Structure 1
Amino acid sequence: MQPPSRRTLLTFGLLLTAGATLTACTGGNGTDPAASAGGRRPDPDEPIRLRAVAATDTLLAGYDALLPQAPQLQPLRAEVAQHRAALQPSTTIPPTTPATPPTAAPTTLPALAALERQTAQSRLADLAAASPQLARLLASVATAGVLHATTLGDSTPTPAPSPATPSTVPTPGEAATPFQEALSAEHAAIYGYGVVGARLPDDQQRTDARTALAAHQSRRDAWQRLLAGTGATPTAAAAGYQLPFPVTDTPAATRLAAHLETRLTTVYADLVAAAPAPHRPLAADALRECALRAHHWGATPTPFPGIPNTPATTPTP
């Protein structure tokens, strides 16, 4: 028997390792005059970080206003505090005092949920202007905010981003590789959901699996169109893929679904950093959708969806 082909094994491995492939970003090779002179190097991301921290402080104040009557909010509040630390610019901003919330602090759980969702949407407005790694962090934190809103009971649909115009389609040399990686991951997810659906009872779970499969097929088609528009040949699906663990019953099937979605969040968080700025909202939207589906299938929550390791509390000087 011939050993499995590289492609057969590739993409489930990609779901484990794509982060290492896509997270690299280039830096300047010149000498920084401010750094050479002993001064603090200007951080072009600082205005974005300041806006993000201010929005986070408003969220923290909202949580603090409700914690006395809703102590169950403490884990979500702790995650928001982690977001603040990760978004903190190099010029440290002291945390706001919990005892002095803003006048508009929410007074009900639905109001807090709405604030989480609004804040998540506002973070995405800075994706194009941010550095690649800050864009990745903003997309992750925005996704966490949508998950918080969902946990708090807000099911308001998030508007889909507008597709990039033809003039902003990346050239093959500019960004074909990260989109090919995303396409390969979608091929594997589609195969995986075929296994998931076959092991689920014919009830709501199987319906949910079909819905997820259709979403991944749609995302696959979008990446194929984008790549074809660059003149690149989209990566084809393999005949089969090696599963990360045996799937013989319903619990294993739901665990596989959670695994697929969780690994795809890493692929898409890294794509936010690797993609040209006009395409970052599409990658962030894919990250959000995968994180919500992972949550639905019972994946362990994380403060930074798609980012395996907790980001540093301050940017590199």
Structure 2
Amino acid sequence: MPRAWSRRSVLVALGVASATALTGCGVRLEDHPGSLPFAPERKPAPDERTLLAALADTRSLEQAAAAAGAAAGPWPARLAPAHHQQAAVLEQVLRQAGVPVPAAAPTTGGPSGTGSPTTSTTAAGQARAGLAAQELVAVQTPALITLAGVGAEHVALLAALAAHHGAAATLLGGSAQWPEPSAPTGSPAARLLAATRSAAYGFEVAQAQGDHATAALAAVTLARLRHRETELVTLAGDAATPPALGYQLPFPVTTPTSARRLARGLVAGLLSAKAAELRGAAGNEQALTGLVRWLAETAVLGTRWGSPLPAFPGLSAP
């Protein structure tokens, strides 16, 4: 009498037969699909590794900022949404390049707020200092060397991102150790010199038309711009041109309100002028370092005038 096959026996037999057939064809089941001759490997996209590292860092900063809590001051709460926006932009850039985007880690909750006031204050200070230290990594020498290896297609995006992190660190109480600017030089420095002189004229008007607080802040801003002008004259060299005989304001400035509005617009213009030089500085570590520094410092200046810290200073909808 023929042997009766159970359903389980049939499935086992089919599995063994399939494995035998595949082995006979020279294909091993335990082989990784990427090693199969008919599964071509994906070619890495330009700057893929650096973009993925920037995404991981930005996600980590978002979590750290969100976890710092209100006791750490106002800036962590402002930085968390900016880091979220940065991560979204980086994800979009990677996807457009055909790069698989790793999933973000689950968001951790913020501080519970329990414990004594002294403990909570200490923890908040430590969280703020820790976040500042994380932000500073983007403008330290190893990161700036990596930035100099980024191609022209992505250098403006990643340099503006680094400038944001440097500005954020300053606003959190950190301090970046910048080298003395030695670049950009020549025509790029001359263009920045012209933009700086134009902004300085505008701040002179803001100082004259503003109230006491506005005039005081304009005076501080002017001192910084005059110092920057001196630096740029040296860096521009023979490409430097004499100051213009006059500059046109974008609108009449006759009140303290219009003076502050002008000041915010002038800072935005300076950010755009600096960011416009980033692509041409690709591959030049000294020039990129100088531009990232000036972008970061100008972005901090903008917050003093009431502007938000841009996620990508100087860039519009990257």
1:221 deviation in Å? 1.7
Q: Contact 1:265–1:287 (CA<8 Å) still a contact in 2?
A: yes
Q: Contact 2:188–2:236 (CA<8 Å) still a contact in 1?
A: no
Q: Contact 1:161–1:285 (CA<8 Å) still a contact in 2?
A: no
Aligned counterpart, 2:209: 199
Looking at structure 1, the residues matched to 166 and 176 of structure 2 have their Cα atoms a distance apart, in angstroms, of: 9
Aligned counterpart, 2:129: 114
- SS of residue in 1 equivalent to 2:276: helix
Q: Which has the larger radius of gyration?
A: 2
Letter in 2 for 1:218: H
Q: Choose 298-307 or 280-289, whichever is displaced more.
A: 298-307
Aligned length: 255
1:74 deviation in Å? 5.7
- SS of residue in 2 equivalent to 1:226: helix
1:287 deviation in Å? 0.7
**2:148 counterpart of 1:128:** yes
Per-residue Cα deviation, 1:90-139 (whole angstroms, up to 9, x for no partner) = 231211122499xxxxx944344334433333223232222234332233
Aligned counterpart, 1:290: 298
Per-residue Cα deviation, 1:20-60 (whole angstroms, up to 9, x for no partner) = xxxxxxxxxxxxxxxxxx97443341222232222223223
Q: Contact 1:179–1:271 (CA<8 Å) still a contact in 2?
A: no
Sequence identity percentage: 28
Letter in 2 for 1:86: V
Aligned counterpart, 2:164: 144
2:80 aligned to which of 72, 77, 83: 77
- SS of residue in 2 equivalent to 1:212: helix
**2:243 counterpart of 1:223:** no
- SS of residue in 1 equivalent to 2:314: coil
1:159 deviation in Å? 2.3
Matches within 5 A, 1:136-285: 136-149=156-169, 154-164=172-182, 176-201=186-211, 203-228=212-237, 232-275=238-281, 276-285=284-293
Q: Contact 2:132–2:169 (CA<8 Å) still a contact in 1?
A: yes
Superposed CA RMSD? 3.1
Q: Contact 1:113–1:150 (CA<8 Å) still a contact in 2?
A: no
* Structure 1 residues 59 and 223: CA distance shift in structure 2, 3 A: same
Looking at structure 1, the residues matched to 180 and 42 of structure 2 have their Cα atoms a distance apart, in angstroms, of: 38
1:86 deviation in Å? 2.5
* Structure 1 residues 66 and 258: CA distance shift in structure 2, 3 A: same
- SS of residue in 2 equivalent to 1:271: coil
* Structure 1 residues 56 and 236: CA distance shift in structure 2, 3 A: same
* Structure 1 residues 115 and 141: CA distance shift in structure 2, 3 A: farther
Per-residue Cα deviation, 1:269-313 (whole angstroms, up to 9, x for no partner) = 22232223321111111111111111111124432221111x2xx
Letter in 2 for 1:156: G
Which TM-score applies when normalising by structure 2?
0.69
Which TM-score applies when normalising by structure 1?
0.69
Q: Contact 1:52–1:123 (CA<8 Å) still a contact in 2?
A: no
Looking at structure 1, the residues matched to 241 and 66 of structure 2 have their Cα atoms a distance apart, in angstroms, of: 49
* Structure 1 residues 147 and 116: CA distance shift in structure 2, 3 A: farther
Looking at structure 1, the residues matched to 298 and 71 of structure 2 have their Cα atoms a distance apart, in angstroms, of: 33
| Structure 2: segments with no counterpart, 5+ residues | 1-39, 111-121
- SS of residue in 1 equivalent to 2:231: helix
Report which of the two has the higher share of helix: 2
| Structure 1: segments with no counterpart, 5+ residues | 1-37, 102-106, 312-317
* Structure 1 residues 85 and 112: CA distance shift in structure 2, 3 A: farther
Q: Contact 2:192–2:274 (CA<8 Å) still a contact in 1?
A: yes
Looking at structure 2, the residues matched to 146 and 278 of structure 1 have their Cα atoms a distance apart, in angstroms, of: 16
